[in-house]
Amino acid sequence: MKYYNLMLRIVLVVLLICLGVVAFYQYALPQAPEQKPKTEHDREKVKRNKNISDYELARSKWGRPTIHKPEKAYKGYTLFCSTHDELRAGEKAHIYLVDMKGRIHHRWEVDTSVQLAKLQPDGSLFYITRDRTAIKRAGLRRLSPDSEVQWYYHCRSDHDFRVLDNGNFLIHCIRDGMVPALGPELKRNPYIIEITDSKKLVWEWHGENHVQELVERLGLDWSKMKEKHKDEAADFDWAHNNTVAVIPENASGEKDPRFEKGNLLFSYRRLSVVGVIDRESGEIVWAWGNGEIEGQHDVQMLPNGHLLMFDNGRDFNPPERGWSRVVEVDPLEEEVVWEYHGSPKESFYSGAISGVQKLPNGNIFICSGNERRLFEVTEDKEIVWEYKPPFEIKGTMGIYQATRYSPEYVRKALGKDSQ
């Protein structure tokens, strides 16, 4: 009995000592501040640990815009998706439409890689797969609002597509082949097609057939053009076109037929060159950018006749600039007339992907893809909306491009307006 009482006393003493140590560390020592997720990867970790849905995450503090000035921002809905490569069995990728507060207004679910999506007035959504997608699953798809595949065109789609006013589709694809004029061995070439809704090919354009026109427009010879791109990747993927855009009516087109309505814009990222294709002849009739822009994306013609584009600042030829900007270029004078960059300049940089959109109120909507940062600036360069989506970060390559739609457009397309 004495032994039992002794052991009991020892246990009680040890227990009191343990409680004292815990109390000391809990109350006597200074406590480290709570660690809050600061980066996209932190937010992904929070989501995974708490096992919350995208909808819950969107309504949490991690899903809110970091800047929102309603009196200056263009009210609407933003469509975007993370850039995915091939998904493993059972995995899903998502395309999001969010309101100005970052809340999910609609979400589509797909089981393929995804790069670029566009919402249509009838509520359907088109999206293309990436250039690295397994060929058997590559192409352009049309989804219903509930994510059912309504139509599929099998092609080696790459970077960009357009739904034309006549119901046809303009798609940028890639084709690999031997092109002796570009040097020995295999080359990856831009290939633009127009197809009907019934999948009939009605027009095609092969970039490798227009190299001489390109260098003549730039006033360079091909040997000098190639000198700046000596690595094997650049030699193979010599153009890396990322844009096919139809030129609308514009002020420059009224003065110069090269920029008239119906011609096409392209963007050769590897060569840091943008240009115009005459739709009827297929000839490259204008090119610009060498020495002015670096690794650009998403060139487009504005009604005032100027070109707007995202100038990444990565030219594959050290020393690279190392900071990004959005530029507006007068193609007749071939000069930059407006630009936006960060302050300091290095605070805004996406070496790849990315895009830009001129909004109806005159603001510029920017997708800094590698940063996973969507933001809107005024013509005076004031940031009036900024949003860093917290969804689907692990295993993705950023956000290729994003589009802002008006409430009226979304209401007509999806029959609802949450704002």
Q: What is the DSSP letter of 37?
A: P
- Section 47-66 average pLDDT: 84
In 3-state terms, what secondary structure has residue 87? coil
At residue 27 the predicted structure's pLDDT band, cuts being 50, 70 and 90, is very low
Select from 390, 409, 392 the least CA-distant residue to 43: 390
In 3-state terms, what secondary structure has residue 89? coil
Segment of 181-190, 191-200, 384-393 carrying the highest mean pLDDT:
191-200
Q: Do residues 195 and 201 lie in contact, with contact meaning Cβ atoms separated by under 8 Å?
A: yes
Q: Do residues 57 and 390 lie in contact, with contact meaning Cβ atoms separated by under 8 Å?
A: yes
Contacts of residue 294, defined as CB under 8 A and 6 or more positions apart, other chains included, come to: 272, 311, 312, 313, 314, 315, 320, 321
**Can you give the pLDDT at residue 419?**
65
Q: Do residues 164 and 173 lie in contact, with contact meaning Cβ atoms separated by under 8 Å?
A: no
Asked whether residue 160 carries a pLDDT value surpassing 80, the answer given is yes
Percentage above 70 pLDDT, the chain: 84
